[in-house]
Structure 1
């Protein structure tokens, strides 16, 4: 079989840092696109990064339910061609856990993947460098390894003590390194100057959203609310008389909010635009932690595609889109920015946001990733045949 034919037929195994049923992010988006392109995709859910806490009990209960064979509530959202595999492994935080994984649990996981149809020679997309993922790569024997660095895990307060060394091993092993934020690219470039920036982009359905009402009174945060977000910012908007809604999952204790803040449960991906087009503006209330410096919100181009203004904190990733968003620091600043919208929002600003988003559709970003994968595959093939110049 030619190298070109082998590339086109290569399976994909995703070693994810999130579960399939989590809020829709690049992990699921790229997996679904690989499947739509005709590849067999095996999506290995979060295999652990830190010791679990009380906030993880729900997720772990769901994992145990699926491992026991009971139905998974998100199964209907898994597209044809994607096989979701919940791993039964211990977190990579202690020597004893790693020994059990290496001797027993990871070989069993590799066996489950093989039984599901995964063959050696796949394209492996790795989202988190841990002892677990590196050991699993050795068992799976992929033809190509991609490190998709979508989080600043090195700055996570519960990162394993040897994380830096583990990431260095993955960077040395990877045939292709990609990331979504300029901040992370700058951190990776001294070790991998060839690191490529690729965002997951925005689905075309967001461009069909109705225009904002123009009242500039209703604000929404959607996605997963995590403790690293600052509840004081949307709370200040609610206290100032604006309509504030939190839509989606909550990880950890629910944030303390004024009674007027409306909370909506997660909605199906196909129904998301219909829910969001009811709002005038969107909120990105991230705390400016070291970990969040590497964040470029997955929803950024979705919000821009709907033409809505975004109130955000000063994440480094906002520097590139500052003319399209409203950066504010304190609760008082957020209220002032919200009150300024009637005077500052224009049809031209809305059109500029939409135009920017159109350059970052799912299709456009996936095409860039595909080109990089093909180049890495070809380079790997030349290296195997001794044709590297």
Structure 2
């Protein structure tokens, strides 16, 4: 494809540019490096608002704003204003979408547009109707069916989006099956989380299994976390949680647990050097069934022992991780035998899975899926 024929890339994200690093920012950067012009749209509302969610939104924004991610050449980051996608706001949101798209068209000559959206609200449908993209790609990374904070109209919008899309992708097997039920006539591909493997390799020290004193988790500290497991671990180990705490569970966290603020993607591997054990301990639920967190492959790339719980999507990698299935007793049994269980072969499997998930591999798979050579 010649440079002057490259399509514009429009990405509707579920997270802001600043803050934790996800597939959305990574792919935007890689498209830009290859000469594509990328419009990156910061997170727009998709949930039912509440006082608690408003407090969390403000708190998250303040903390995420402390993590400034560089914006490369060819990436244009935009932050439109919309109200939550409730039925009563449909008309006013249509007007906001009209003004937003008009502002873009008045500044930029849009050409051969590839519209990639990670959320399915009617606000997105408004933008599609006005931008008239050449190709619509929907990447499902959220189990909306099991999220009570999502308005019913969002499910209707998702059905319409699925019917309009030229390409359907999902991050997890669970979400892949969700989309297949929505539109059996279109094959659903995968757009799995990835990792900058060389970045996280520097977290490994080599003496983790001999020390086995510190337990780390990084990411959203919310209701999906099995706080009870972490509290039990804090009685015998040094436990560190890195991220933003959901106010609804703050009072449940043991005072023996150390909370660290979120850090930039470039600094995270250095922080993780202090970890002997990495964990992703979630509570089993219909919602969690659809999750394969981005941090999973980042943890694998550190080579450190990784303990999971409640993550059905990660069971495919059971030969490289330890599944404690909600049992602290099982965790202690594995820890006692860790020097025998933690073989070179097990560590090599982590590296192999991480290499398969390297962003360069994921990006090339994504380009192939959406029809860019």
Deviation at 1:276, TM superposition (A): 0.9
Q: CA RMSD in A?
A: 2.5
Aligned match of 2:291: 295
From the superposition, tell whether residues 265 and 115 of structure 1 become closer, same or farther in structure 2 (CA, over 3 Å).
farther
2:364 equivalent in structure 1: 367
2:141 to 125, 131, 150: 150
TM-score (norm 2): 0.89
Relative to the length of structure 1, the TM-score reads 0.86
Deviations 1:74-99 (CA, angstroms, capped at 9, x unpaired)? 55533332222112111112x22111
C-alpha contact (below 8 Å) 2:13/2:119 kept by paired residues: yes
Deviations 1:90-128 (A, max 9, x none): 1112x22111111x2111211233345361531111111
For the 8 Å contact 1:121–1:141, the answer to whether it is kept is no
Q: Following TM superposition, by how much is the alpha carbon of 1:134 offset from its aligned partner in structure 2, in angstroms? A: 0.9
Contact kept, 8 Å, 1:212 with 1:278, in 2: the verdict is no
Report the CA distance shift for 1:342/1:171 in structure 2 as closer, same or farther (over 3 A).
same
Give the whole-Å Cα distance in 1 for the aligned partners of 2:203 and 2:227. Answer: 27
The answer for the alignment partner of 1:244 in structure 2 is 239
Residue 76 of structure 2 corresponds to 83
The reply to whether residue 137 of structure 1 matches residue 128 of structure 2 is yes
Partner Cα separation in structure 1 for residue 60 and residue 103 of structure 2: 16
Alpha-carbon spacing, 1:343–1:163, altered in 2? closer, same or farther (3 Å): same
The answer for unaligned runs of 5 or more in structure 2 is none
How many residue pairs align between the two structures? 364
Pairwise CA distance, 1:159: 1.9
Distance in structure 2 (CA, Å) of the matches to 1:64 and 1:272? 19
**Partners of 1:228 and 1:116 in 2: how far apart?**
42
Runs of 4+ with deviation above 6 angstroms: 62-65
* Mapping 1:276-315, distance limit 5 Å: 276-315=272-311
Structure 1 unpaired stretches of 5+: 66-71, 378-389
The one-character-per-residue Cα deviations of 1:214-241 (angstroms, maximum 9, x if unpaired) are 22221100122122212111111111x1
Contact 2:68 2:264 in 1 (8 A): no
2:51: which partner in 1? 54
CA distance in structure 1 between the aligned counterparts of 2:61 and 2:291, rounded to whole angstroms: 30
1:62 CA displacement: 8.5
Indicate how the Cα distance of structure 1 residues 85 and 75 shifts in structure 2: closer, same or farther if over 3 A, else same. Answer: farther
**Counterpart in the other structure of 2:313:** 317
1:357/1:221 Cα in 2 relative to 1: closer, same or farther (>3 Å)?
same
